[in-house]
Amino acid sequence: MGSAEQAFHTALPMILVTGGAGFIGANFVLDWLAASSEPVVNLDKLTYAGNLHNLDSVQGDARHIFVQGDIGDTALVARLLAEHKPRAVVNFAAESHVDRSIHGPEDFIQTNIVGSFRLLEAVRAYWSALPEGERAAFRFLHVSTDEVYGSLAPTDPAFAETRGFEPNSPYSASKAASDHLVRAWHHTYGLPVLTTNCSNNYGPYHFPEKLIPLMIVNALAGKNLPVYGDGMQVRDWLYVKDHCSAIRRVLEAGAPGETYNVGGWNEKPNIEIVNMVCSLLDELRPRADGQSYKAQITYVKDRPGHDRRYAIDARKIERELGWKPAETFDTGIRKTVQWYLDHADWVASVQTGAYRDWVQTQYAQEASAAAVTGATA
């Protein structure tokens, strides 16, 4: 970076986003730059779910400074903080797929626990040296998941911020650990942190290993649609752009040390989601043979420790910060299916050999040979 460009960037308020090439992080960066003139430094390791194609629309935008790197690289993070002097850090960086955590938990421990610790320490050193006014205004916003709370029985009340942690997978355990670290850095060192715990996100740029994009992509490819167990696992679904607006609101007005649950008020069993996707595809991109995509649904063996129900009580963020989702599930899922139909090039670009190998590893052992889903592109 030249001295003039560096002066431009360091003279302006800006934020540092980690994990900003992943699904939620990229949507956050794109929405931020669409609504604000404030620049973003975007640090992403570009592992399997981080995809620079997610950021094609801001390529060449001087307000977006992309850096490939790891939140666990203390020297790199310290250099970026010193050079760009962000007024806030928004931490999306995480390994984030339950099934992957079951097959290989090591990466989740390293990124979600050790990486979060190193990021917190680098940020604490930077924050401690800021002038008093900037130090008081600084925020570290940690983006987390409702899975830290464990599983709910059908009649249990939804997860409130006061619920204790009962994580059941290596992924959720690693995220719970990072949430605890963030809380401790606030209570021990005074770091002005904010934490959000969200329900299941869906929408544009969602890597096609997760339920909704996998169903869309497999349906269009004529493959089976694998549904775990009886398909009655219940999740609360949150359109990703609603999640991003909640994060912006928490960053703007949240109280340091507080946690805010972010949900979409859309509790639905997985099989209902799959049927809705099929119905939308029947309408928007009918099969050549006139049959419904529902004919491709295949039930596969349930995954180990599969939580039956998650549900978010999002009343606190509405009551204290005036936020609530703009999309219903009906409007959000229609936008999502249409986005995938309109962006077949993006889907093709993420379906690399490594992606196909992963899908085969996950489902081949749980389905009959006929139900191996994404093993070929």
Instruction: Report the percentage of the chain scoring pLDDT > 90.
Output: 77
DSSP, res 298: E
Nearest to 160 by CA among 320, 327, 332: 320
| pLDDT score of 225 | 97
> Which of the residues 99, 147, 179, 313 is marked catalytic?
147
Least trusted range by pLDDT, from 104-113, 303-312, 319-328, 354-363: 354-363
* pLDDT interval class at 4 (50, 70, 90): very low
- Comparison of pLDDT for 261 and 359, the residue scoring more: 261
3-state secondary structure 3-31: HHHHHHHHHCCCEEEECCCCHHHHHHHHH
Least trusted range by pLDDT, from 1-5, 21-25, 63-67, 244-248: 1-5
Q: What is the CATH classification number for the domain harbouring 101? A: 3.40.50.720
Determine contact, residues 263/313, Cβ cutoff 8 Å.
yes
- Check whether 370 has a pLDDT greater than 70: no
Token representation of residue 154:
């059908």
The CA distance from 78 to 75, in Å, is 5
Query: Could you give the C-alpha distances from 315 to 161, 242, 248, 262, 319, in angstroms and in order?
Result: 10, 15, 17, 9, 6
- Check whether 5 has a pLDDT greater than 90: no
Q: Which amino acid is at 186?
A: H
Q: pLDDT by residue (tens digit) across 34-75?
A: 999 999 999 999 887 788 889 999 999 999 999 999 999 999
Helix (H), strand (E) at residue 78: helix 74-84
Q: pLDDT by residue (tens digit) across 258-279?
A: 999 999 999 999 999 999 999 9
- Check whether 14 has a pLDDT greater than 90: yes
Q: Is 147 a catalytic residue?
A: yes
Q: pLDDT by residue (tens digit) across 226-257?
A: 999 999 999 999 999 999 999 999 999 999 99
The CA distance from 19 to 55, in Å, is 12
Token representation of residue 31:
């929405």
> Which of the residues 44, 99, 126, 171 is marked catalytic?
171
Least trusted range by pLDDT, from 10-24, 54-68, 146-160, 342-356: 342-356
| 218 part of a folded domain | no
* pLDDT interval class at 362 (50, 70, 90): low
| 151 part of a folded domain | yes
| Mean pLDDT (whole number) for 281-302 | 96
- Check whether 86 has a pLDDT greater than 70: yes
Mean pLDDT of the chain: 90
- Check whether 373 has a pLDDT greater than 70: no
| 85 part of a folded domain | yes
- Check whether 353 has a pLDDT greater than 90: no
Long-range Cβ contact pairs of 58-62 (< 8 A, separation 24 or more):
58/29, 58/30, 58/33, 61/33, 62/5, 62/8
Side-chain half-sphere of 150: how many Cα atoms within 13 Å? 8
Q: Which amino acid is at 241?
A: K
| pLDDT score of 95 | 79
| 256 part of a folded domain | yes
Token representation of residue 142:
């940690």
Radius of gyration of the CA atoms of the chain, in A: 21
DSSP, res 309: B
| 34 part of a folded domain | yes
3-state secondary structure (DSSP) of residue 200 = strand
Of how many residues is the chain composed?
377
| 373 part of a folded domain | no
Tell me how crowded residue 224 is: count the other CB atoms within 10 A of its CB.
22
The CA distance from 371 to 105, in Å, is 26
| pLDDT score of 11 | 55
> Which of the residues 146, 242, 313, 327 is marked catalytic?
146
Output the pTM of the full model. 0.89
Q: Report the number of distinct structural domains present in the chain.
A: 1
Instruction: Report the percentage of the chain scoring pLDDT > 70.
Output: 89
The CA distance from 104 to 231, in Å, is 24
In terms of residue numbers, what domain contains 140?
3-206+237-266+306-326
| 333 part of a folded domain | no
- Check whether 361 has a pLDDT greater than 50: yes
Q: Is 146 a catalytic residue?
A: yes
Nearest to 197 by CA among 232, 170, 233, 172: 172
